[in-house]
């Protein structure tokens, strides 16, 4: 039986007086990849920011491996195993690939840092080949690989991926889907936010539909693919 690694219960959050999330419930189990889909403005990125600690919820609870972390600052959450790969990748463009990865492992002991680097370069041989290249000169797909690799440097137990296919060419999207799929089944749980349901259902075995800040349906990806509410939410965008 899968164990609940990340549990979000009744979370309400927003920006000032603007409430973007309304009592959201969500679970990510150990070794599971879960997708969160919905149109622009549904609150998907807001939920990731709230889980990561960038936003403080006004109500509800967030539990990591059974321990409540709702009031923890972002630094403590990161040290405890939550890693966010933000929308738009946001690599440190003037720095090399290698230096970007070192920043992702900041604070680790030298031996553990070396092991993390070896793991990332094994997972992403493309990055190993370009370890001395300036990150800003990489393609969009390569920068997404680097952003994911940087997150893995901390040895996270929960990986939050915000729109990993955004702005990528179809071939690069396929590469990113392959990368995330290869990560599945490890000890970490993965929560992927995607506006594109086709990409989301290729990555995740289970998902949630977020509409206007609330979860309106959830279930296995195969069921969501044919769910009338999901189709209606995308107004014929195609599934």
Every domain of the chain and the residues it spans: 4-234
Q: What percent of the chain has pLDDT over 90?
A: 62
Average pLDDT over residues 210-222: 95
pLDDT in tens, 21-34: 999 999 999 999 99
Query: Both tokens of residue 153?
Result: 């440097």
Tell me which fold the domain 4-234 belongs to. Rossmann fold (3.40.50)
Question: Count H helices, E strands: the chain?
Answer: 10, 10
Q: Is the pLDDT of residue 238 over 60?
A: no
Helix, strand or coil for residue 106? coil
Q: Is 0.95 surpassed by the pTM of this model?
A: no
Pairing of strands 214-220, 206-211: antiparallel
Rounded to 5 degrees, what angle do the CA atoms 7, 164, 38 make? 60
Q: Is the dihedral of CA 143, 148, 154, 159 positive or negative?
A: positive
pLDDT in tens, 85-124: 988 778 888 999 999 999 888 777 788 888 889 999 998 9
Nearest to 90 by CA among 155, 140, 15, 43: 140
Q: DSSP states of 14-45 as a string?
A: EETTEEEEEEEEEEEETT-EEEEE--TTSSHH
Q: Is the pLDDT of residue 10 over 90?
A: yes
């Amino acid at each position: 039986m899968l164990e609940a690694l990340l549990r979000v219960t009744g979370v309400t959050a927003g920006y000032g007086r603007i409430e973007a999330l309304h009592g959201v419930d969500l679970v990510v189990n150990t070794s599971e990849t879960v997708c969160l889909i919905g149109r622009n403005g549904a609150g998907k990125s807001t939920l990731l920011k709230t889980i990561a600690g960038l936003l403080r919820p006004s109500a509800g609870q967030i539990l990591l491996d059974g321990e409540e972390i709702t009031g923890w600052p972002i630094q403590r959450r990161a040290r405890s195993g939550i890693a966010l790969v933000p929308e738009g990748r946001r690599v440190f463009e003037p720095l090399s690939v290698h230096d970007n990865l070192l920043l992702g492992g900041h604070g680790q002991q030298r031996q553990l840092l070396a092991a993390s680097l070896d793991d990332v370069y094994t997972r992403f041989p493309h990055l190993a080949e370009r370890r001395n290249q300036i990150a800003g000169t990489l393609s969009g797909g390569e920068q997404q690989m680097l952003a994911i690799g940087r997150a893995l440097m901390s040895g996270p137990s929960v990986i939050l991926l915000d729109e990993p296919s955004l702005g990528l060419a179809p071939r690069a999207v396929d590469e990113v889907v392959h990368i995330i799929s290869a990560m599945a089944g490890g000890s970490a749980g993965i929560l992927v936010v995607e506006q594109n349901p086709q990409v989301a259902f290729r990555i995740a075995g289970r998902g949630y539909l977020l509409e206007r800040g609330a979860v309106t349906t959830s279930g296995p990806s195969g069921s969501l693919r044919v769910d009338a509410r999901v189709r209606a939410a995308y107004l014929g965008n195609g599934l």
